[in-house]
Amino acid sequence: MSQYQAPLRDMRFNIEEVFDFTSHYASFSQGREASPDIVTAVLESAAEFAQEVLAPLDAVGDKIGCTWHDGEVTTPPGFKEAYAQYIANGWTTLAMPTELDGQGLPASLAGFCMEIMCSANHAWTMYPGLSMGGIQTIAAHADDDLKRRYLPNLIAGRWSATMCLTEAHCGSDLGLLRTRATPTADGSYRISGSKIFISSGEHDLTDNIVHIVLARLPDAPPGIKGISLFLVPKFMVDEKGQRGARNTVRCGSIEHKMGIHGNSTCVINFDEATGYLISPPHKGMSCMFTFINESRMGVAQQALAQIEVSHQTALRYAHDRVQFRGSVRSNPEAAADPIIVHPDIRRMLLTQRAFAEGGRALSYFLAMQTDRERYSDDAQVRETAEALLSLLTPVAKGFLSEVSVEATSYGVQVLGGHGYVREWGQEQHFRDARITSIYEGTSGIQGLDLLGRKILGSRGKALEPFLLLVGGFCQQHPDGPYTAQLQKLVQQWTALTGELGVKALQNPDEINAAAYDYLMFSGYTVMAWTWAQAALVADTALQNNPSEKDAAFYRNKLVTARFYFERLLPRTLALASSMRAGVATLPEFDPLD
pLDDT digit string (tens) for 407-431? 999 999 999 999 999 989 999 999 9
- Assign 323 a pLDDT band (cuts: 50, 70, 90): confident
Shortest CA distance to 128 belongs to which of 203, 40, 214?
203
Whether the Cβ atoms of residue 155 and residue 102 lie closer than 8 Å to each other: yes
Sequence-ordered alpha helix ranges (H) in 416-547: 417-420, 426-434, 443-448, 464-476, 483-506, 509-542
Whether the Cβ atoms of residue 153 and residue 241 lie closer than 8 Å to each other: yes
Domain boundaries, the chain: 442-585
At residue 1, the pLDDT reads 52
pLDDT, tens digit, 9 for 90 and up, residues 286-295: 999 898 899 9
- Assign 330 a pLDDT band (cuts: 50, 70, 90): low
At residue 172, the pLDDT reads 87
Q: What are phi and psi of 232, to 5 degrees?
A: -130, 110
Q: Is 255 a catalytic residue?
A: no
At residue 335, the pLDDT reads 81
Cα dist. 419→2, 9, 51, 314 in Å? Answer: 13, 27, 21, 9
Shortest CA distance to 309 belongs to which of 412, 421, 394?
412
Helical axes 343-375 vs 284-320, angle rounded to 10°: 150
At residue 112, the pLDDT reads 98
Whether the Cβ atoms of residue 302 and residue 434 lie closer than 8 Å to each other: no
In whole numbers, what is the pLDDT of the chain averaged over residues?
96
Average pLDDT over residues 120-141: 96
At residue 86, the pLDDT reads 98
- Assign 34 a pLDDT band (cuts: 50, 70, 90): very high
Average pLDDT over residues 268-280: 97
Average pLDDT over residues 161-182: 94
User: 440, 464, 548, 588: which is the annotated catalytic residue?
Assistant: 440
- Could you tell me how far CA 144 lies from the centroid of its own chain? 30
pLDDT, tens digit, 9 for 90 and up, residues 463-484: 999 999 999 999 999 999 999 9
pTM here is 0.96
At residue 2, the pLDDT reads 62
- Count of CB atoms situated within 10 Å of the CB of 529: 22
- Calpha distance 5→55 (Å, rounded): 9
Q: Is 10 left (phi over 0), alpha (psi -120 to 50) or beta?
A: alpha
Q: Provide the percentage of residues in the chain whose pLDDT is more than 90.
A: 92
- Calpha distance 425→28 (Å, rounded): 42
Sequence-ordered alpha helix ranges (H) in 273-342: 284-320
Say if residue 491 is exposed, middle or buried (CB neighbours under 10 Å; 0-12, 13-18, 19+): exposed
Q: Provide the percentage of residues in the chain whose pLDDT is more than 70.
A: 99
Whether the Cβ atoms of residue 94 and residue 81 lie closer than 8 Å to each other: no
Radius of gyration of the chain (CA): 24
Element (H, E) at 113: helix 107-120
